[in-house]
Amino acid sequence: MQVPAQFEYEKAASVEHALSLLAKYGPESRIVAGGHSLIPMMKLRLAQPLALIDINDVAELARISVEEGMLCIGAMARHADLLASAVVGEHFPLFHDAERMIADPIVRNRGTVGGSLCQADPSEDLSGSFAAVRAEAVVQGRQGQRVVPIREFFTGPYQTAVADDEMLIMVRVPIRSSASAYEKVERRAGDWAVGAAAAVLRLEGDTVAEAGIGLTALGARNFYAPEAEEFLAGGPATDERFERAGDIAAEHCAPIADQRGPVDYKRHLAATLTVRALQRARTRWHGRRNGGN
């Protein structure tokens, strides 16, 4: 039976308490909430923290709210909370799309938004979605808070901009008139993505005023496709333009062959899923303008 190496365990009662415990145990300590990524890594001895700091009692980090024109999602919000939130579905339905395909109800009931983002797994579903909507991460240390654009939050596979003595406390998304969608290919229900694409559109008539494209498991740097976004902006929201944007997204990806598929297949997915997500977002935009969902 695989068991973790020995470690200390502390429960934090507040953000300030958690930060003081991080300072107490130093850079080898880790924050834990759901634990669905960290604990398996500890069992395999891929991670061997000297101390785990449990933040499950820090209720202030579990809120989902709208504040000053921003959708605010606490780092401790569970996947199930994001899926159940009416305000999330109203403004950013791509999060509901993504959450329906994350693992299973057991994982969604325990796993957290902040834990998923801080794991920075290249195949993690929410990272591309937050990149598409141009979210920002609120990170707190003992010296105060700082805001990191989510597109600068991921510094590499399994690496983020959060320092050893800091913690992610919230993700904020500017609320603008838009429509969004998330498309994913997986080997079986609830599996990690073979490839996935998130799209956000804001149209003026039939013209793309702004586009956001997030990519997961497809080798896109920082989980988004800036070249495809730039191509779409100012042009017509047609299938032909969407198909070219998909090709551009695929051209600028650097997928890695693995057990989920070869490079050429993943490039094909980058193009195809980008087009599907854009088309679905466009349908939602027109549906909202016509009084639909």
Q: What Å distances lie between residue 233 and 99, 211, 248, 254, CA to CA?
A: 28, 6, 13, 23
Distance CA 20, CA 10 (A): 11
Domain boundaries, the chain: 8-54, 59-174, 179-286
Tens of pLDDT along 2-53?
788 889 999 999 999 999 999 999 999 999 998 878 888 888 887 889 999 9
Closest CA to 16 of 67, 53, 70: 53
Tens of pLDDT along 212-252?
999 999 999 999 999 999 999 999 999 999 999 999 999 99
pLDDT beyond 80 at 79: yes
Reduce the DSSP state of residue 37 to 3 states and report it: coil
Q: What Å distances lie between residue 182 and 28, 44, 157, 265, 289, CA to CA?
A: 36, 32, 22, 19, 20
Task: Please check whether the two domains, 59-174 and 179-286, share a CATH topology.
Answer: no
The correct answer on CATH 3.30.43.10 for the domain covering 8-54 is yes
Closest CA to 242 of 268, 280, 205, 287: 280
Q: What is the pTM of this model?
A: 0.93
CATH of domain 59-174: 3.30.465.10
Distance CA 277, CA 191 (A): 19
| Assigned CATH topology for domain 179-286 | Enolase-like; domain 1 (3.30.390)
Q: How many residues can be counted in the chain?
A: 293
